[in-house]
Amino acid sequence: MQIYDNPSRDRWEELLQRPASDLGKLEATVREVMNRVKEEGDAALREYTARFDGVELDDFSVPAATVEAAADQVPDDLKRAIQTAHDNIETFHRSQQTQVEEIETMPGVRCWRESRGIDRVGLYIPGGTAPLFSTVLMLAVPARLAGCREIVLCSPPDRQGNIHPAILYTAHLCGVTRIFRLGGSQAIAAMTYGTATVPQVYKIFGPGNAFVTVAKQLALLQGLAIDMPAGPSEVLVCADAGAADAHVAADLLSQAEHGHDSQVVLVTDRREKAEGVWQEVQRQLAELPRRELAAQSIANSFALVFDDWSEAADYVNAYAPEHLILSLADPRSFAGQIRNAGSIFLGYHTPESVGDYASGTNHTLPTYGYARQYSGVSLDSFVKKITFQELTADGLRNIGPAVETMAEAEQLRAHRNAVSLRLRDLPS
């Protein structure tokens, strides 16, 4: 981990870069998969599942009985932990429901908005190096609360054609309506176009590898919505003298172990802190089961030392991290300067892991600097907002002349007539 002391702003550009990922090289391959699934449907899905997942499947659907039986294969302590996380996530996302508020913009003119759940959403849950049952919670709980009528889940099968029981158990707990043993770009294609087996959805959520990311981008071109652009996971930790080196190192490694292309960054005001944390990272890294992946991520990472914390805040805003840990004596004061971050973790006792699993906030967050313009997944991600307006006769009298004048100025006579004819027919 390289340490940079008070880097000048003309060097920031290179210190804002994430590990290189040329998704353009994958586009032709993924586009071929998408087109074949569009044209050949389930037959293409069977071929790709055999090729990429190493298992031949006649039926991609997971029967309800299999889903219900998965509970017997999940340890009781894990089920209790999942239930705790479920309850917290539900509590937090339920609080995002808003009451309808009608506004009278002028006498007799009333306007308001109401939420409607997206009828059918698709959730992609990776199952590669780790079964991400926690992502099922993060996506299916708000989908159910939003009133989505159908919640479709795709996750890649193992060599025996099964989905990890913890994923099935969590999906059942959260009210997922249909589950399919499909992974990779072919799963995204199936949900994009629909097949004889897999229904077409209207919005796709969930993380994945580079092939899944490209497939979601191509789905956008087909008129589907997606949760957000995505890249490898990342964390930026701000640590002062009061932060324990071991805690900061563990925070950095908790993201580094996600994958070889993840990035972790340390920002501090003392070089001794950066050096102490780096020594602790090396010690803890040697004990991790996923140390080879984490080591590759650490190679992409660095520490920055700023004498001035306001300068550090400017760098953080420029970097726009997915996860921002403020391991500081006064984290709320520093957080007040932050405009760009996916999720912020305040104080010495708040590791990023709690947000990944069970605090209640959503862990589906913008990466790769997209926190400059995107929010993480929330209840709003699963709804559309429909606007309403209602006029009384007096309301039409009050607002009508302004609309007539504006429509005439734009040479849209029919627009003017729609108002003028009504005004003419109103009683005096």
323 marked as part of a ligand binding site: yes
Burial 161-198 (b: 16+ CB within 10 A, else e): bbbbbbbbbbbbbbebbbbbbbbbbbbbbbbbbbbeeb
pLDDT greater than 70 at residue 373: yes
pLDDT tens-place string over residues 254-311: 999 988 888 999 999 999 999 999 999 999 999 999 899 889 889 889 999 999 999 9
Task: Give the distance, in angstroms, between the CA of residue 108 and the centroid of all CA atoms in the same chain.
Answer: 41
pLDDT greater than 80 at residue 175: yes
pLDDT of residue 131: 84
Topology agreement, domain 2-20+231-353 and domain 23-226: yes
Q: What's 143's DSSP letter? A: H
Of residues 172, 322, 352, 363, which has the active-site annotation? 322
Burial class (CB in 10 A: 0-12, 13-18, 19+), 70: buried
pLDDT of residue 297: 87
151: part of which helix (H) or strand (E)?
strand 150-155
Percentage of the chain exceeding pLDDT 70: 100
pLDDT of residue 44: 98
pLDDT tens-place string over residues 403-425: 999 999 999 999 999 999 999 99
Query: pLDDT averaged over the chain?
Result: 96
CA distance 277 to 290: 19
CATH number of the domain located at residue range(s) 2-20+231-353 in this protein: 3.40.50.1980
pLDDT tens-place string over residues 95-118: 999 999 999 999 999 999 999 999
pLDDT greater than 90 at residue 229: no
Which has the closest alpha carbon to 394: 421, 424, 356, 426? 426
186 marked as part of a ligand binding site: yes
3 state DSSP class of 132? coil
pLDDT greater than 80 at residue 130: no
pLDDT greater than 70 at residue 70: yes
pLDDT greater than 90 at residue 24: no
322 assigned to active site: yes
Work out the pLDDT band at 387, boundaries 50, 70, 90: very high
27 marked as part of a ligand binding site: no
Q: How many CB atoms lie within 10 A of CB 269?
A: 19
3 state DSSP class of 281? helix
pLDDT greater than 80 at residue 78: yes
pLDDT of residue 232: 87
CA distance 170 to 182: 17
Work out the pLDDT band at 128, boundaries 50, 70, 90: low
179: phi then psi, degrees, rounded to nearest 5 = -130, 135
CA distance 179 to 376: 24
Of residues 93, 164, 172, 323, which has the active-site annotation? 323
93 assigned to active site: no
Location of structure tokens 């563990």: 250
pLDDT greater than 80 at residue 21: no
pLDDT tens-place string over residues 160-171: 999 999 999 999
In contact, 357 and 133? CB cutoff 8 Å: no
pLDDT of residue 276: 97
Mean pLDDT of 203-225: 95
Torsion of CA 412, 414, 415, 417, to 10 degrees: 130
Q: What is the DSSP string of 154-222?
A: EE---TTS---HHHHHHHHHHT--EEEE--HHHHHHHHHH--SSSPP-SEEE----HHHHHHHHHHHHT
Cβ neighbours for 53, distance < 8 A, ≥ 6 positions apart: 156, 157, 158, 159, 183, 184
Which has the closest alpha carbon to 206: 265, 266, 152, 135? 135
209 marked as part of a ligand binding site: yes
Here the tokens at position 100 are 């309808």
pLDDT greater than 80 at residue 372: yes
115 marked as part of a ligand binding site: no
CATH number of the domain located at residue range(s) 23-226 in this protein: 3.40.50.1980
pLDDT greater than 90 at residue 428: no
247 marked as part of a ligand binding site: no
pLDDT greater than 90 at residue 346: yes
Work out the pLDDT band at 1, boundaries 50, 70, 90: confident
Mean pLDDT of 200-216: 95
- Going from N- to C-terminal start, the domains of the chain cover 2-20+231-353, 23-226, 392-425
CA distance 193 to 407: 40
Strand partners, 104: 110
pLDDT greater than 70 at residue 236: yes
286: phi then psi, degrees, rounded to nearest 5 = -65, -20
pLDDT of residue 48: 97
